[in-house]
Amino acid sequence: MRAVVGTNSWGSALYGKILRGSAVNEETLKETIDQAVKKNLLVFDTAQDYGLGKGQKLIGKLCPEQIQISAKFTPSTKHGYEFGQVRRSLLKDLQDFHRPYVDFYWLHLPNEIEENLSEMIQLYHEGKIKHIGVSNFNLEECQKAKKILDAEQIPLYGVQNHYSLLERTCEKNGLLRWCNENAVTFWAWAVLEEGMLIPPRQNEKFTIMKFVFEQERDRLYPLYKEMYLIGQAHGMTIAQIAMSYVASKGIIPICGCRKPYQITQLEQAAETILSVSEIRRLEHITNLIDVKILHTDLFRFAVRK
């Protein structure tokens, strides 16, 4: 697997306009799926709240059987564990997908880890889950999850956390090293920092993210310049360099794709390995400008004590 197709802004037209500045119709999404099949990008990542609840229903409606689905269970941030909550959530997902199982299933927050993983383990044994992963977990929480799964002789497939050219905390805190040492795959979300690693264009459409982070974006111009120069050497855009950087570090980028050309760009970026020198140049500039958009602990507020 080289890259994963993100579907965060699939679904609601209003949701798409707020997050991405425009909405995309079903016909365009179907063309995007067809291009993903053609380019052999066959894993699509979703969650129940994407597109105001419509995103994964579209996946079930539009995606052919060869598309593999990555879905999530998000524990409550206010209430404790309730027996059967994971099963109920997964069965709803499977109904949306029109499938008997999900390929990848992630515990989306480290709340009630043992209780929620116990349900996922049972669903794994029933064949309703093919691979179990965790998302937005720190190193200690990942180690705990792996220990629980190891006791049942089930591998911890992966960790899905924030990683990008601007956010490399998992390298500094040992999490990425631990994943590599334990054959745990690392998937990165927010690879483009919600569009901030794409330089502004003329007549750019309004999005809430660009409005919130406009000041930080102004400080990114030295990085845009370096990304542009490296992109010229590889025949790629600045956005593709951000994707390729992640892939070059041995991490699987999750990138939102709503249009066929975005699939083509993601495939090219994931196939392009940047040189050690190019990676060092990019990291040197990010260290100098020290800009943070979405922090690695963005969802820590939702973790129950």
Quick count: other Cβ atoms within 10 Å of Cβ 139? 16
pTM of the model: 0.94
Q: How many CA atoms lie within 13 A of 237 on its CB side?
A: 14
Range of the domain at 224: 4-302
Total length of the chain: 305
Written as tens digits, the pLDDT of the chain (305 aa) is 999 999 998 987 766 666 666 789 999 999 999 999 999 999 999 999 988 889 999 999 999 999 999 999 999 888 889 999 999 999 999 999 999 999 999 999 999 999 999 999 999 999 999 999 999 999 999 999 999 999 999 999 999 999 999 999 999 999 999 999 999 999 999 999 988 898 887 566 767 666 777 778 889 999 999 999 999 999 999 999 999 999 999 999 999 999 999 999 999 999 999 999 999 999 999 999 999 887 667 777 778 76
List the CATH number of the domain containing 20.
Answer: 3.20.20.100
Q: What CA–CA distance (Å, rounded) separates 174 from 92?
A: 36
At residue 18, the pLDDT reads: 65
At residue 17, the pLDDT reads: 65
Q: Give how many domains the chain has, as a whole number.
A: 1
Tokens describing residue 148: 């629980």
Q: What CA–CA distance (Å, rounded) separates 37 from 250?
A: 23
Sign of torsion over alpha carbons 144, 148, 153, 158 = negative
At residue 16, the pLDDT reads: 67
Angle at 156 between CA 152 and CA 162, to 5 degrees: 150
Asked whether 266 and 243 are in contact (CB, 8 A), the reply is yes
At residue 77, the pLDDT reads: 83
At residue 9, the pLDDT reads: 87
At residue 293, the pLDDT reads: 84
At residue 302, the pLDDT reads: 78
